[in-house]
Amino acid sequence: MPARILNGNAIRDQIYSELSGEIAALSASGIRPGLAAVLVGENPASKIYVSSKIAATEKLGLASFNITPPATISTSELLAIVEDLNRRDDVDGILVQLPLPSQIDAKKILEAVDPAKDVDGFHPLNVGRLVAGRPNLVACTPLGVMEILRRSEIPIEGANAAVLGRSDIVGKPMALLLMHANATVTVCHSKTRNLPETVHRADIVIAAMGRTAMVTPDHIAPGATVIDVGINRVTDAAQAESIFAHLPERLASFRAKGSAVVGDVHPDVANIAGAITPVPGGVGPLTIAMLMSNTVRAARLRRGARISAAARS
């Protein structure tokens, strides 16, 4: 029996509907949450991603500020931009789009962002709060995965969960969020021995290694929930033939376009899993939704006294 498809677009729309109420309440207090996106240079993928974030802010009625310094900018010049955004009262959230050009000290830039405005959840202070079980602003993709699991009524407490990948952006915070939700978590990576056997023991599998279709049916226990965080573009015809061997419509689409977007999970896993996220249309929409949620949360936390005063008046 094919897996239940966990539709990220539908869950995103639920979250946006809830956020609209929060934003309206803030507006009644004279507050309009604002998100500043810093996009350095002309990276095409980054431009598309930032434009989708800005579109989401406009859809929800948030203020958006798009800062686009040239790719030749120095670390000190970019630090000055971040420090200016830290001081601005109309900016509640700051995101610095990665990757940054090679001459930029990315860690120095990310650590310069005010933790109260760190809507990407990358600042060491916010990471430390997550480790301590007192999360404030958490990385958007893992936060989105938790929303998918909870809103899809996937049992987390007591479940065995395998997280494939140990990045600071997804793997590590994902493992922490699952542990705080009382799952038993195994973090897998490129050096894990007997990876298929290890992953096969999991009730919940989070694939975030950035390797095209690497999670195959032999990794997955029947009925397991599979969350595919990967986004990989396939342009090689032989690879596409292999991946879409049992999906003639996807293969025909590849042949027509010359490319296809595939996750870290092989499409055939849908015949084994109990529930699975599609790519695209699974985790991706939730990443942006949680960025919006973090921006609203940052506004409420930063301006709490003002909101309380407005409510009393």
CB-CB neighbours of 7 under 10 Å: 16
- Of the residues 92, 114, 118, 120, only one is catalytic, namely 120
| Residue 34 buriedness (CB in 10 A; 0-12 / 13-18 / 19+) | buried
Backbone angles phi, psi at 209, to 5 degrees: -105, -10
- Which token pair is 92? 């509640």
Residue 13 annotated in active site: no
Query: From residue 147, how far is each of 80, 81, 154 by CA, in Å?
Result: 35, 33, 10
CB 111 within 8 A of CB 123: yes
Q: How far is CA 192 from the centre of its chain?
A: 24
Catalytic residue among 53, 172, 228, 264: 53
**Which pairs from 233-236 meet CB under 8 Å and 24+ separation?**
233/259, 233/260, 233/261, 233/262, 234/259, 234/260, 234/261, 234/262, 235/259
Decide if 120 is catalytic.
yes
- What CA–CA distance (Å, rounded) separates 93 from 38? 11
Residues labelled catalytic: 53, 97, 120
